[in-house]
Amino acid sequence: MKNFKEKADLIWRVADLLRGDYKQSDYGKVILPMTVLRRLDCVLEPNKQKVLDYLPKVESLKENAKDIAINKIAGFNFHNKSQFNFDKLIADPNNIALNLRNYINGFSNSAREIIEYFNFDDQIDRMDDPKADILFRVVKSFQEIDLSDMESMEMGYVFEDLIRRFSEQSNETAGEHFTPREVIRLMVNVLFIEDKDILTQKGIVKTLYDPACGTGGMLSVGEQYVKELNPNAELKVFGQEINPESYAICKSDMLIKGQNPSNIKFGNTFTVDGLEDEKFDYMLSNPPFGVDWKKAEKFIKDEASNRGMGGRFGAGLPRINDGSLLFL
């Protein structure tokens, strides 16, 4: 992890521009979505002009076929067909809000949905307001930060470091957002150690599920472990996350790595199981500790009594103040 701390420090300094116009506890509402946007911008940049040149050739295709064709040119499972990138955005300071919205709307649906979970449109208005007038400076500061040389694991560290700092600013606990990657690596080793013979088979496909996936650290480390063990293996990852910012960060990581972002669901795993009909080979999670389940009590007790062992809680329910045990 050669430079993630340096990148996180650079991004953190952009928050100084928000001082006076934003409460410290609200810095993340700007910095996190801008970091995601800049990361997407950097990974798409090598083929951006090729995508723009290719657009007239697919104009007559249906939307789904058009997306597939453009994705191939972009080299990822997403693309951006706006004329803008971060370099072009800062070239027109007087129309920064209009152009930034055009840029965001230029993303394919899977990427645009990620930005929508940050409710970033409200922040564009707020920063572009003449009383603040900081939108251009924020965009320019991010344009000066190069995230193209970052491995997926390093970007995970960057996001987790930023979330930790924002949590400290707002007197929240960062533990509910992420687990240190060193700890995850140990957990992944324990999870897969008995199945090495299976996982080294040619063309093997397995699935991994995290019901409280946060920014996707456990899913990423699990995927990396299997790839290192067997480059011909495929680990399909699934997860669900209740925090909209963490959910969006996780989906953006899956999108860039070529995983299916629709496998990551948003919401409370206990009350709305987004993956109810799926079955998985492995499950790995660090659920939130010290949290009660009073808010979800009715849903959980109804499922326990109505579905028994056919549901998730047939083995019994823990004390109301111990929500972490429900994940077992």
Q: 108-143 burial, b for 16+ CB within 10 Å, e for fewer?
A: bebbebbbebbebeebbebbbeeebebbbbbbbbbb
Residue 171: what pLDDT?
56
Same structural domain for residues 11 and 136?
yes
Residue 175: what pLDDT?
46
Same structural domain for residues 180 and 232?
yes
Both tokens assigned to 127: 């920063």
Both tokens assigned to 52: 């723009």
**Number of residues that make up the chain:** 328
Task: Tell which of 121, 148, 169 closes a domain.
Answer: 169
Query: Angle at CA 171, nearest 5°, toward 291 and 16?
Result: 140
Q: 161-185 burial, b for 16+ CB within 10 Å, e for fewer?
A: bbbbbbbeeeeeeeebbbbebeebe
Measured CA to CA, the distance from residue 137 to residue 147 in angstroms comes to 18
For the chain, the distance separating the N- and C-terminal CA atoms, rounded to the nearest angstrom, is 33
Both tokens assigned to 167: 């949590």
Asked whether the beta carbons of 64 and 87 are under 8 A apart, the reply is no
Measured CA to CA, the distance from residue 116 to residue 118 in angstroms comes to 5
Same structural domain for residues 145 and 191?
no
Same structural domain for residues 102 and 242?
no
Both tokens assigned to 8: 């996180």
Same structural domain for residues 149 and 279?
no
Q: For residue 109, is it within any domain?
A: yes
The structural domain count of the chain equals 2
3-state secondary structure of 219: helix
Same structural domain for residues 229 and 265?
yes
Residue type, 261: P
Same structural domain for residues 163 and 182?
no
Measured CA to CA, the distance from residue 60 to residue 160 in angstroms comes to 43
- Using 70 as the pLDDT threshold, list the residues of the chain that sit under it: 1-2, 169-178
CATH label of the domain that carries residue 262: 3.40.50.150
Same structural domain for residues 232 and 133?
no
32 Cα distance to chain centroid: 10
Measured CA to CA, the distance from residue 237 to residue 218 in angstroms comes to 10
Residue 120: what pLDDT?
94
Q: For residue 57, is it within any domain?
A: yes
Measured CA to CA, the distance from residue 122 to residue 135 in angstroms comes to 12
CATH label of the domain that carries residue 123: 1.20.1260
Same structural domain for residues 154 and 190?
no
Residue ranges making up the domain that contains 23: 4-169
Q: What residues does 265 pair with on adjacent strands? A: 240
Same structural domain for residues 241 and 121?
no
Same structural domain for residues 67 and 165?
yes
Same structural domain for residues 131 and 186?
no
Measured CA to CA, the distance from residue 57 to residue 69 in angstroms comes to 10
Q: How far is CA 98 from CA 26, 38, 105, 147, 165, in A?
A: 23, 17, 11, 24, 31
Q: For residue 231, is it within any domain?
A: yes
Task: Tell which of 135, 169, 203 closes a domain.
Answer: 169
Asked whether the beta carbons of 256 and 151 are under 8 A apart, the reply is no
